A and B are shown apart, each in its own frame.
Chain A
Amino acid sequence: MTATDDAVPEAPAVAPEDAHGTIRMEGITKRYGALVANDGIDFDVASGEVHALLGENGAGKSTLMGIMFGLLTPDAGRIVHGGREVRFASPADALRRGIGMVHQHFMLVPTLTVAENVVIGSRPSHDMRFRRRELEAAVGEVAERHNLHVDPRAYVRDLSVEDQQRVEIVRLLYRGANTLILDEPTAALGSAQVKVLLATLKQLQASGRSIVIVTHKLDEVMAIADRATVLKGGRNAASLERSAFEQRAFTQAMFDAMPDPVPHERHIALDAAPRIAIEGLTVASSTGRPALRGLDLELRPGEIVGLAGVAGNGQTELLDAIAGVAHVESGTIAVDGADIVSQRPLERRERGIRVIPEDRHDAGLVLEMTVAENLALTMVPAGEASRHGLLRRREIRAHAEQLLERFDVRPGDPDRRVHELSGGNQQKVVVARELSGAPRVVIASCPTRGLDISAAASIHRQIESAAADGCAVLVISPDLDEVLALADRVAVIFEGRIVHDVPREQASSEAIGLAMVGQAPGAAATAAADRSATHPTTSNG
């Protein structure tokens, strides 16, 4: 079933410009169970324009784009393309109508050549001729015509990230795409490569193609977008013409207004020596590209620092580096004055360094083992729960019972396997393990993710009480509310550096929001922002 079969003529007269491909999405709604990912969103792309789509994680961008390129079907709303209402049965179907997507994680086969990747799946099955030379010439011709230099005979596995991205674009152009959706296309690129990509997109636009760019970075929006749509919580939050592009307008639409500062009873000795001092920390991500680029951050005893930032700016690597499971290329992490970079994870834990990882299933818990066993995970290798190589099971159990009571985990049964617990109680098990036993430094990533209000509040109280005992806490969260609810100080991480660092009282949602999208405020804002070489900012809006 193709879109053409499916298309029904639209009653009103067709505007002339619609003839070659304006796409209008009207009242798009998509639900996943109780979650409404898209709630009556309107979105349109005019022929030959660059349209930026912005929003926080979870704002509904991916769902909307999934519907646009045929991967998802909306529960309500309609798509009008070239003057006709259409329904896409699949991405291939959407591509036949000229709409294609370049995913953030490329969909290429590493063991095939560029030319093969470009045509794979596009040839009708009855056409069994596969003339390599012709094919390569045809692919090369499409690439050169758009100034996308890439060797059709090269194997994809040998290509750099930027070249692979070019292959993805060539693939769509080869198949006649007029509308290209790019999902965070600059996430994996360096700044020089970003310039090249933006120039390419300009060129594609000049050749009459429409481009939707999904991004977190205001720089890029300012640089090439004609229009911008901001989503928040699954709804349209703002739609701006280029003439109205202004930093404030974007951040106000993207992020909630900040709650008023709540006075703390905690007293932090501002002149105390830092409990943890991170200097020039440089770490590569698992894919090898730099994730932390000389990050500096200090926490004093008893201080809770909120680390805001769009996910993927180095937060995970920061936690891993402090825990001792990431390879640190350079820089120091000093705890109470002693550098711990060369220490093994167990030594660090014995020193009082604790982490609450973002993904409790992947990194926090051993789901198949019991609650008691999970609570004893560190005790066992540390030799605290054993005698002559055998487990001291009564002590492990007693330790678990005490923590279950203190952290109010339900059911309070130490012998239950963790996967049988609800998500909130699983998280409490992680928090109980990490906050018990006199922690000195706690790195908590999204500590209340997926928890109800009372469970979240109880975890917040536990974090505050750890801080009251002199522990330094770094709360990493893309959720500004959580950061602001707890923090004495707010820092913002962007592309592996701290670009903004202010006391809670001086924090403004505008400055934080801007810093999160790469528009670090003036150097005068804080001394900390001075220290960390700020990301070059441009604004040509």
Chain B
Amino acid sequence: MSTATNIPAATRFSLLRKPAVARAARLLLAALAALLLVSILLELLGADALTALQAIVEGALGAPFSLGQTVMIASILVLTGIAAAVPFTARLFNVGAEGQLYAGAIAATAVGFQFPHLPSAVHVPLLLAAGIAGGALWAAIPGLMKAYMNANEVIVSLMLTFIATLLAEYATTGIWPSGLATNTDPLPGNALLPTVSASTDITLGAPLAVVAVLLTWLLMNRGTLGFQIRATGFNAHASELNGLPVKRIQVLAFTIGGAAAGLAGAILVAGIQDSLIAGGAAGFGFLGIAVALVARLSATWMIPSAFLFAVLQVGSNSLQVKAGISPSMGAVIVGVFVIALLALGAIRLGTDGAK
């Protein structure tokens, strides 16, 4: 649905002239409006807005460790953004990326503990594959129920999120108990994703997220399946009359989204938290919806969009120390930003312009 990605390259250049500029302008305007609103809010709370915003940026990017954290959370958000964007393009509302992330995390954890003596070169790919499969299967349920039973995919994917969240809790206490109620023991070292940059704790998860973006771009813009997902999303009736297997495409779109979320789950347990933590997803699955909308479902825009949200997420931890206000202001800022974008039409659900 994004102007930039859904059409062949030749068109993109001619379109770049206007819609993309207009879009950038709208984004900028929305960012400024959000900044203004947030500043007013911060001043009302008795904090200095400039100090607070500075605290966020420094808190997210200022030190190697926090920069690494920001990059890793951005990687998770890129993947949950894809989990929302691919089904959205088929006009299916996957709000269950959080649950699909947990499903992937649980599957990855199982592989991690099940084969403690595998060499890393086998164990890590196996664990990642398990995560992808777990998320894909969890997403296939709402996809199948939508396509073949006409169930509401929003409700089904949301309800499955609650189930997966509770399953993760059960896994930490019932399947792989560690004595601590909220998390399992650390995964065996061979199961953990290798570190890419030791000083920042950036692991293989970050380059994997970039690979996922490239693959998604390829799928959606050059692949036959992406073509059919787009056609189905824009006009399912015409697609069906033209012989597209609409139901199968719907299931696949949902499943691909779930695979991305499942990969995020595997990266979370084996590349960030080193163990399965109940509540460890911390809303990253839901935040992926905002990431996808700000990126207007475009795979390439997913990276800056996710990075922006990751900065806000990580940076707001230093609000308490540096500006004397609650870190939950970070969540408020995210909310205000998304609302400002929506209000200014920088992001739109469903049809993108045209129809």
* A-to-B contact residues, CB < 8 Å: 323, 325, 344-346, 348-350, 355, 357, 362-370, 372-373, 376-378, 380-383, 385-386, 389-391, 393, 397, 415-417, 419, 433
A373 to B241, Cβ gap below 8 A? no
B235 to A389, Cβ gap below 8 A? no
**Of B7, B225, B239, B355, which contacts A367 at CB under 8 A?**
B355
Q: List 6 A-B residue pairs with CB atoms under 8 Å apart, sorted by A's residue number.
A: A345-B242, A362-B235, A367-B234, A368-B352, A380-B227, A389-B223
Given contacts A377-B238, A377-B242, 20 further A-B contacts (CB under 8 A): A344-B245, A345-B241, A348-B243, A350-B243, A357-B238, A365-B235, A366-B230, A366-B231, A368-B353, A369-B7, A377-B231, A381-B228, A382-B243, A383-B224, A386-B224, A390-B218, A391-B222, A416-B11, A419-B355, A433-B242
**Of A350, A369, A378, which contacts B6 at CB under 8 A?**
A369
> Given contacts A363-B238, A372-B8, is CB(A377)–CB(B244) below 8 Å?
yes
Question: Nearest chain-B residue to A376 (Cβ)?
Answer: B227
A366 to B239, Cβ gap below 8 A? yes
Complex: A393 Cα to B9 Cα, angstroms: 10
Task: Determine how close the nearest CB of chain B comes to the CB of A75; give it in whole angstroms.
Answer: 31
Residues of the A chain whose Cβ atoms lie less than 8 Å from the Cβ of B6: 368-369
Complex: A372 Cα to B223 Cα, angstroms: 15
- Which residues of B from 66 to 82 have beta carbons under 8 Å from A? none
B224 to A389, Cβ gap below 8 A? yes
B180 within 8 A of A: no
A367 to B241, Cβ gap below 8 A? no
A367 to B222, Cβ gap below 8 A? no
B237 to A378, Cβ gap below 8 A? no
Complex: A417 Cα to B237 Cα, angstroms: 18
> Given contacts A362-B237, A367-B355, is CB(A390)–CB(B222) below 8 Å?
yes
Task: Determine how close the nearest CB of chain A comes to the CB of B150; give it in whole angstroms.
Answer: 13
B354 within 8 A of A: yes
The 8 closest A-B pairs by CB, nearest first: A346-B243, A377-B242, A415-B11, A386-B224, A349-B243, A368-B354, A366-B235, A345-B243
Question: Nearest chain-B residue to A346 (Cβ)?
Answer: B243
Complex: A416 Cα to B223 Cα, angstroms: 20
B43 within 8 A of A: no
Count class of interface residues, chain B = 20 to 34
B355 to A368, Cβ gap below 8 A? yes
Complex: A380 Cα to B245 Cα, angstroms: 11
Task: Determine how close the nearest CB of chain A comes to the CB of B264; give it in whole angstroms.
Answer: 24
B224 to A417, Cβ gap below 8 A? no
**Of A345, A369, A383, which contacts B240 at CB under 8 A?**
A345
Residues of the A chain whose Cβ atoms lie less than 8 Å from the Cβ of B234: 366-369
Complex: A415 Cα to B7 Cα, angstroms: 8
Task: Determine how close the nearest CB of chain B comes to the CB of A391; give it in whole angstroms.
Answer: 6
Question: Nearest chain-A residue to B235 (Cβ)?
Answer: A366
**Of A364, A370, A390, which contacts B224 at CB under 8 A?**
A390
Complex: A370 Cα to B8 Cα, angstroms: 9
B10 within 8 A of A: yes
Complex: A386 Cα to B223 Cα, angstroms: 8
Residues of the A chain whose Cβ atoms lie less than 8 Å from the Cβ of B245: 344, 346, 381
A369 to B224, Cβ gap below 8 A? no
Complex: A363 Cα to B234 Cα, angstroms: 11
Contact with A along B2-19 (1 / 0, CB 8 A): 000011101100100000
Question: Nearest chain-A residue to B355 (Cβ)?
Answer: A367
**Of B7, B218, B244, which contacts A346 at CB under 8 A?**
B244
A363 to B7, Cβ gap below 8 A? no
Question: Nearest chain-A residue to B242 (Cβ)?
Answer: A377
**Of B7, B228, B235, B243, which contacts A417 at CB under 8 A?**
B7
Residues of the B chain whose Cβ atoms lie less than 8 Å from the Cβ of A349: 242-243
Task: Determine how close the nearest CB of chain A comes to the CB of B87; give it in whole angstroms.
Answer: 17
Question: Nearest chain-B residue to A325 (Cβ)?
Answer: B240
Of listed B218, B240, B355, residue having the most chain A CB within 10 A = B240
Residues of the A chain whose Cβ atoms lie less than 8 Å from the Cβ of B353: 368
Complex: A363 Cα to B218 Cα, angstroms: 28
Complex: A348 Cα to B245 Cα, angstroms: 13
Complex: A419 Cα to B6 Cα, angstroms: 15
Complex: A385 Cα to B243 Cα, angstroms: 14
Complex: A117 Cα to B261 Cα, angstroms: 48
Complex: A174 Cα to B53 Cα, angstroms: 65
Task: Determine how close the nearest CB of chain A comes to the CB of B51; give it in whole angstroms.
Answer: 45
Residues of the B chain whose Cβ atoms lie less than 8 Å from the Cβ of A350: 243
Task: Determine how close the nearest CB of chain B comes to the CB of A46; give it in whole angstroms.
Answer: 46
Residues of the A chain whose Cβ atoms lie less than 8 Å from the Cβ of B224: 380-381, 383, 385-386, 389-391
Question: Nearest chain-B residue to A350 (Cβ)?
Answer: B243
Contact with A along B231-267 (1 / 0, CB 8 A): 1001101111111110000000000000000000000
Complex: A524 Cα to B239 Cα, angstroms: 44
Complex: A391 Cα to B242 Cα, angstroms: 17
Complex: A366 Cα to B91 Cα, angstroms: 14
**Of B222, B227, B230, B241, which contacts A325 at CB under 8 A?**
B241
Question: Nearest chain-B residue to A386 (Cβ)?
Answer: B224
Question: Nearest chain-B residue to A419 (Cβ)?
Answer: B354
B354 to A391, Cβ gap below 8 A? no
Question: Nearest chain-B residue to A393 (Cβ)?
Answer: B8
Contact with A along B27-53 (1 / 0, CB 8 A): 000000000000000000000000000
Complex: A416 Cα to B12 Cα, angstroms: 10
Residues of the B chain whose Cβ atoms lie less than 8 Å from the Cβ of A370: 7-8, 11
- Which residues of B from 184 to 218 have beta carbons under 8 Å from A? 218
Complex: A128 Cα to B6 Cα, angstroms: 55
A357 to B227, Cβ gap below 8 A? no
Task: Determine how close the nearest CB of chain A comes to the CB of B90; give it in whole angstroms.
Answer: 13
Complex: A179 Cα to B352 Cα, angstroms: 46
Task: Determine how close the nearest CB of chain A comes to the CB of B56; give it in whole angstroms.
Answer: 37
A357 to B231, Cβ gap below 8 A? no
Task: Determine how close the nearest CB of chain B comes to the CB of A167; give it in whole angstroms.
Answer: 28
Complex: A381 Cα to B237 Cα, angstroms: 15
Complex: A376 Cα to B239 Cα, angstroms: 11
Residues of the A chain whose Cβ atoms lie less than 8 Å from the Cβ of B352: 368
Of listed B218, B223, B227, B230, residue having the most chain A CB within 10 A = B227
Residues of the B chain whose Cβ atoms lie less than 8 Å from the Cβ of A393: 8, 222
Complex: A509 Cα to B314 Cα, angstroms: 78
Residues of the A chain whose Cβ atoms lie less than 8 Å from the Cβ of B14: 415
Task: Determine how close the nearest CB of chain A comes to the CB of B187; give it in whole angstroms.
Answer: 34
Complex: A382 Cα to B245 Cα, angstroms: 10
Contact with A along B102-140 (1 / 0, CB 8 A): 000000000000000000000000000000000000000
Residues of the B chain whose Cβ atoms lie less than 8 Å from the Cβ of A382: 243
Complex: A473 Cα to B1 Cα, angstroms: 36
Task: Determine how close the nearest CB of chain B comes to the CB of A20; give it in whole angstroms.
Answer: 50
Task: Determine how close the nearest CB of chain B comes to the CB of A356; give it in whole angstroms.
Answer: 10
Complex: A472 Cα to B100 Cα, angstroms: 51
Residues of the B chain whose Cβ atoms lie less than 8 Å from the Cβ of A433: 242
A369 to B230, Cβ gap below 8 A? yes
Complex: A419 Cα to B3 Cα, angstroms: 14
Question: Nearest chain-B residue to A360 (Cβ)?
Answer: B238
Complex: A368 Cα to B238 Cα, angstroms: 12
Complex: A314 Cα to B355 Cα, angstroms: 28
